[in-house]
């Protein structure tokens, strides 16, 4: 993967700095280009700014200085309404699937379509939602159950189906497997890869504490340290790196598996 022009990148961060209190900088000049179509893993010690960086990509936080360019559009050029619509380009799955407790599995997946695709008939909304649930491998027998009536793995599948509802170009996962048992972790990791492969052109960006998975499934890895990009490259670039912090992080992650 050797992108050359700006259009080959899904997300570009140019010298992005962020301070919440005007004193301490959480992001200290992030330079990053995420190749379109890549499955990118973002790794780094706790508190280094991974989630804050994701929120900048989503336009949920604004940089104190620097530029955030998503799908060739500078987020700063958009007003709030345009930005809200623009966010339909993203599908997001956080650590907790964040499903609506009082809605059934099917209703959860229909929700973004009802919100953002008002031109669709209820029949079409249902048809698309059923397609997405099929795509993530959830048996139709669960469609009318509430989130509390299905297992953790099924909740993740439902969350992913909902994230896919609007056919987003970019999928964002923030620690999708933290707190899950090893079997469920592997299932979710595989689901991320399968979903990525099933949708050619999709860019998947995943923050992960699970280095083993990050190096196994990602084709592009970004390591943040103290608000800066320490290294960005292929898993092989990481294995070959002489940077001490990278070595410590990589060796530790691999040893723990």
Ligand X SMILES: Nc1ncnc2c1ncn2[C@@H]1O[C@H](COP(=O)(O)OP(=O)(O)OP(=O)(O)O)[C@@H](O)[C@H]1O
Minimum distance from residue 139 beta carbon to Mg ion (Å): 32
Two structure tokens written together for 167? 């056919």
Minimum distance from residue 195 beta carbon to Mg ion (Å): 21
Kindly give, in sequence order, each residue whose CB lies less than 8 Å from that of residue 175, ignoring residues fewer than 6 positions away: 94, 95, 207, 208, 209
3-state secondary structure (DSSP) of residue 78: coil
Q: Compare residues 47 and 182 and give the one whose CB is closer to ligand X.
A: 47
Do 9 and 35 touch, CB atoms closer than 8 A?
Answer: yes
Minimum distance from residue 120 beta carbon to ligand X (Å): 35
Q: Is residue 172 at the binding interface for ligand X, with CB under 6 A as the rule?
A: no
Which letter does DSSP use for residue 6 in this model?
Answer: G
Kindly give, in sequence order, each residue whose CB lies less than 8 Å from that of residue 189, ignoring residues fewer than 6 positions away: 177, 210, 213, 216, 217
Q: Is residue 96 at the binding interface for ligand X, with CB under 6 A as the rule?
A: no
| Binding residues among 105-144 for Mg ion as defined by CB under 5 A | none
| Binding residues among 27-56 for Mg ion as defined by CB under 5 A | 50-51
Each residue 32-71 as x (binds ligand X by CB under 6 A) or -, in order, gives ------------x-xxxxxxx-------------------
Using CB under 6 A, list all residues that contact ligand X. 20, 26, 44, 46-52
């Amino acid at each position: 993967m050797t992108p050359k022009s700006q259009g080959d990148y899904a997300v570009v961060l140019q010298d992005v700095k962020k301070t919440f209190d005007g004193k301490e900088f959480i992001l200290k000049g992030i330079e990053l280009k995420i190749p379109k179509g890549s499955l990118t893993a973002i790794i780094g010690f706790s508190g280094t700014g991974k989630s804050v960086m994701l929120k900048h990509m989503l336009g949920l936080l604004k940089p104190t200085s620097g530029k955030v360019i998503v799908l060739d559009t500078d987020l700063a050029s958009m007003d709030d309404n345009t930005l809200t619509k623009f966010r339909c380009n993203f599908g997001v799955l956080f650590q907790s699937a964040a499903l609506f407790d009082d809605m059934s599995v099917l209703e959860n997946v229909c929700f973004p379509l009802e919100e953002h695709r008002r031109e669709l008939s209820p029949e079409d909304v249902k048809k698309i939602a059923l397609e997405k649930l099929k795509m993530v491998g959830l048996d139709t027998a669960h469609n009318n159950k509430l989130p509390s009536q299905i297992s953790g793995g099924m909740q993740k599948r439902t969350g992913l189906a909902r994230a896919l509802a609007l056919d987003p170009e970019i999928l964002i996962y923030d620690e999708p497997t933290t707190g899950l048992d090893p079997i469920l972790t592997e299932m979710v990791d595989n689901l991320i890869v399968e979903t990525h492969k099933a949708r050619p052109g999709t860019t998947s960006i995943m923050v992960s504490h699970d280095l083993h998975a990050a190096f196994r499934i990602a084709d592009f890895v970004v390591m943040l340290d103290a608000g800066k990009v320490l290294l960005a490259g292929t898993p092989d670039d990481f294995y070959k790196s002489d940077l001490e912090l990278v070595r410590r992080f990589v060796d530790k992650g691999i040893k723990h598996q």
